[in-house]
């Protein structure tokens, strides 16, 4: 079975954020980092070369594949600021309706710029998803 490519590293989170080319994306990443620092109470850690992650949980699929991944995090990608909401979005329809302009993947929230969303709603979404993951996976 293939090994997960995305693993926690010892790379510097601040150096990574400082290296983001696009000024707006870099400023948004700094803002999201402060928000996630406050919401999670965990220290940010790099996962792979481009994900700033918080916390950690261990998953195991029916297929036998298993691994570790951050409970939440973000990545200031070229196309969009990506925020990882690991439980997905179906339980958060009310919040999503109030969030603003965004796109989603399975567990990815894609935002072009933070001004496009209500930051208080985003904070609540992150807080609720972290609480869900902590409960589901027994993370303290």
Could you tell me the CATH number of the domain that includes residue 54?
3.90.1150
pTM score above 0.85: yes
Angle at 47 between CA 40 and CA 73, to 5 degrees: 35
Kindly state whether residue 8 falls inside one of the protein's structural domains: no
Percent of the chain whose predicted confidence (pLDDT) is above 90: 87
Which pLDDT belongs to residue 21? Answer: 94
Number of neighbouring beta carbons within 10 Å of residue 78: 8
pLDDT at 56 over 60: yes
| Of 86 and 4, the one with more pLDDT | 86
Kindly state whether residue 112 falls inside one of the protein's structural domains: yes
Kindly state whether residue 16 falls inside one of the protein's structural domains: no
Total domains, the chain: 1
The whole-number average pLDDT for the span 39-64 is: 94
Q: 104 - beta bridge partners? A: 109
- Could you read off the pLDDT of 10-50 as tens digits, one per residue? 999 999 999 999 999 999 999 999 999 999 999 999 999 99
Give 117's pLDDT tier (boundaries 50, 70, 90).
very high
Kindly state whether residue 124 falls inside one of the protein's structural domains: yes
pLDDT at 1 over 60: no
Rounded to the nearest 10 degrees, what angle do helices 119-137 and 23-40 cross at?
50
Domain limits at 92? Answer: 23-135
Kindly state whether residue 129 falls inside one of the protein's structural domains: yes
Kindly state whether residue 7 falls inside one of the protein's structural domains: no
The whole-number average pLDDT for the span 70-95 is: 97
């Amino acid at each position: 079975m293939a090994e997960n490519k995305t693993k926690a590293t010892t790379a510097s989170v601040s150096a990574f954020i400082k290296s983001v080319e696009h000024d707006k994306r870099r400023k948004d990443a700094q803002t999201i980092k402060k928000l996630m620092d406050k919401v999670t109470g965990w220290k940010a850690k790099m996962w792979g070369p481009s994900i700033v992650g918080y916390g950690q949980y261990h998953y195991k699929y029916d297929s036998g594949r298993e691994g570790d991944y951050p409970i939440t995090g973000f990545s200031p990608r070229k196309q969009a600021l990506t925020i990882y909401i690991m439980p997905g979005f179906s339980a958060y329809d009310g919040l999503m309706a109030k969030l603003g302009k965004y796109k989603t993947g399975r567990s990815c929230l894609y935002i072009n710029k933070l001004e496009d969303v209500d930051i208080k709603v985003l904070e609540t979404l992150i807080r609720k998803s972290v609480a869900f993951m902590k409960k589901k996976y027994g993370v303290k």
